[in-house]
Structure 1
Amino acid sequence: MNSAIRALIIRLETIGEVTEIDKVALAALPVQERFYTRGSEIIPDGEISTSCCLILEGYAYRSKTLPDGNRQIFSLHTSGDIPDLHSLYLPKMDHTLGAISDCIVARIPHDAVKDALMRAPSLIGLLWRDTLIDAAAFRAWMLMLGQADAASRMAHLFCELYIRQSMAGLADGNSFALPLTQTDLSDILGTSVVHTNRTLQDLRRRGLLDFDQQVVTILAWEELRALAQFDPSYLHYLDRRVGRVDPAKL
């Protein structure tokens, strides 16, 4: 089985049952792997998309940019995510999907995805559930942007990424790779670079986490989670261990 499809199946198995029929239909999908350097636009705002993008390695992001150049990053995506699944039925992009780090993306033609859904109808429910979970994560982040202070926002971001990376098998104990600059973080948090730096230093001083050499290390999970007011239930993973990280292991 293609490694790209294997990554997708691993992702889908965290949110629902993937049957053997589903796996056969997915394995038949034609994929074209492409490498994108950091800063590349994978699909620009306004483009008519003809394929879905499955992230294999690295991080992609979704964003909108104002005419004055100010950018807001809405979400980050890593291995197993299809951040533009909606393009199956809304092909004109109303935001940019870009590479926030060097990344590898598998492009899957829309027609092939729709054919797979016809051959394995249970995939419709799985992919629809994935889209709904993505929307739930978006709502949770909009709440943080609108109502939480910068420290809580940053804590929430790191909590969510840690859980998602753990579920994808990409966390190394209490650490995970996060190849972002402080400018990237400021575009996610909606704060200035100076404020982002001060907030990060504050979390370090409290002994909650470290962020060095593009690796985040969680030092005090329960305290970080409390600061973030983080409840992972909106991610709707089937693994009931989500959010129950043993502090003794951190």
Structure 2
Amino acid sequence: MKTIFRFLSTGVLSAALLAVGAVAGYGQDVCADVDAQTAVYTKFTGIYLKKSVADMETALATGKEFLEKFGACESLAEQVKFVKPHVERIEKALPLAKKGAQLDPLFTRFDAGINTDNGDEIYSAGKAILAIDTDNINIMVPLGVAGLYQSYNNNPKYADDTIRYAKMAIAKLKAGTPAIKKNKAGADVYGALKYEFTKEHAIDEMSYAIANLTYYAKKDRAGALPLYYEIAQTSTRYKDDPRVYQTIG
């Protein structure tokens, strides 16, 4: 029995030594496999600066493959030093690129909706954008006024959405949400295309939209009158507008 046990132990030990040798040999073969190194490295350097999501995903996978397979090879220290920071950069940038790929067609629809006064597209695309980019003030502002202008054509269907987004945007503007663009005069502006305003103008437009739609579209005259009184006292744009006083009167 002891003889059998001794034989089995020796066999297990031999197998273990062979396994270690195989691993060591594999590592040595990888670092000596110039063709494999060149293929992966060349693929990475040919795509690592590309901007499309698909190319960035390929570059990231290829860069990681290079680092995993050849990162420990002393002969490739310079290549590893080059690849590693770019892998980190791509990994960080990829989520933003994916978000941009989702948003770009929606922005195109949103802009087209504004340019053609298509309320359905303005609100459909705008809501889809905000589902992804929840704090985009430049989308909220147009959504906070477009329904007012639609109502002038006897189309009050966007009243609730306009009031909701106007209140949301006004709160953000008063809380100090920074602008990311300026007009030709160098002033900070919010919104998009013909619905792009300075902060004060945006608040005036949306405050008037809330009051007007509450009064005329929602038929809530009692709720609208205090809003008109506030506009008459504080709005630079509408405090002298005869429509305000006609409604109050």
TM range (shorter): under 0.3
- Higher relative contact order (Cα pairs below 8 Å, separated by 6+ residues): 1
Larger relative helix fraction: 2
Larger-gyration structure (1/2): 2
Higher strand share: 1
